[in-house]
Structure 1
Amino acid sequence: MKQIVEQGLLYDFYGELLTEHQKKIYEAAVYEDMSLTEIADENGISKQGVHDLIKRCTNTLQGYEDRLHMIKRFEAIKLRAEEINALADEEDLPCAVLRDKLKAISGNIIEELT
C-alpha cells in the first residue's frame, strides 16, 4: 500500500515528464490497479515489458525527486499548514505568543521555498 501511495505522489509531481506511452502504462498500473497481464494484453506488449517499463518509470520519477525534492518540500509545507490550523484552534493563546508562533512557522515555510 505504501509503495502505491509513493508511486502516486511521484506521478502527481513528475508524471508530465514521462512520454505518453509511459504515462498510459504507469497510470494503468498505479491508478487503475490493472494487472501486468491486463496491461500487456491491452497494449500489445509482453508482461515482462510492462514490468520493466513500470520499474524504469518509477526509477526515473524517483530520480527527479532525488534531485528536485518537490515532494519533500510539499510535505514540509503541508506540515507547517497543519501547525497553523492547530494554532487557530487554540483559544487561550495570547496574541503576542500567537504572533511569534505564526512568524516562526511562516519563516520555516519561506526557508523551505527558497
Structure 2
Amino acid sequence: MLEKTTRINYLYDFYQGLLTPKQRNYMEMYYLEDLSLGEISEHFNVSRQAIYDNIRRTEQMLEEYEEKLGLYRKFQKRQELLGYLKQHTNNEKTQQIVDKIIEIE
C-alpha cells in the first residue's frame, strides 16, 4: 500500500496540471492530507462512493498519462544515473556539478 501511495504521489506531482480542480482537491485531501473518504465527502457534501469513484478514475488517468508520457519513469532513471555518478566520480568539480543537478531534480 505504501508503494502505491508513493507512486500516486509522484504521478500527481508530475501530472496534476492535467487534472480538473475537483480532481486535484480530492487527490490532495486523500493522498496529501490523509483525510478519509468520509471526511472528504462531508466537506464537499457528496457521497463517499462519489469520492471513491472520482479518486479511482483519477488514479487511472495518472497511470495513463505516465504510460504515454513517462515523466516519472524518466525521473527515476535520471536519479539512478546521478546516484551512480555521485558514487563513482573522484573529481571534485564533477561531484559539484552532479550535486547541482540533483538539487535541480
Matched, 1:67 2:68: yes
SS of match in other structure, 1:45: coil
Matched, 1:29 2:30: yes
2:59 aligns with 58
Aligned residues: percent identity?
29
Q: TM-score, normalised on structure 1?
A: 0.76
2:99 aligns with none
Whole-angstrom distance in 2 between the partners of 1:22 and 1:16: 10
Q: Which runs of 4+ in 1 moved over 6 A?
A: none
**What's the offset of the Cα at 1:5?**
0.2
1:81 aligns with 82
* Long gaps (5+) in structure 1: 92-114
Bigger CA radius of gyration:
1
Whole-angstrom distance in 2 between the partners of 1:63 and 1:81: 27
Alignment of structure 1 residues 1-114 onto 2, 5 Å: 1-88=2-89, 90=90
SS of match in other structure, 2:85: helix
**What's the offset of the Cα at 1:14?**
0.4
SS of match in other structure, 1:33: coil
Q: TM-score, normalised on structure 2?
A: 0.82
**What's the offset of the Cα at 1:44?**
1.1
**What's the offset of the Cα at 1:87?**
1.2
Equivalent position amino acid for 1:33 in 2: D
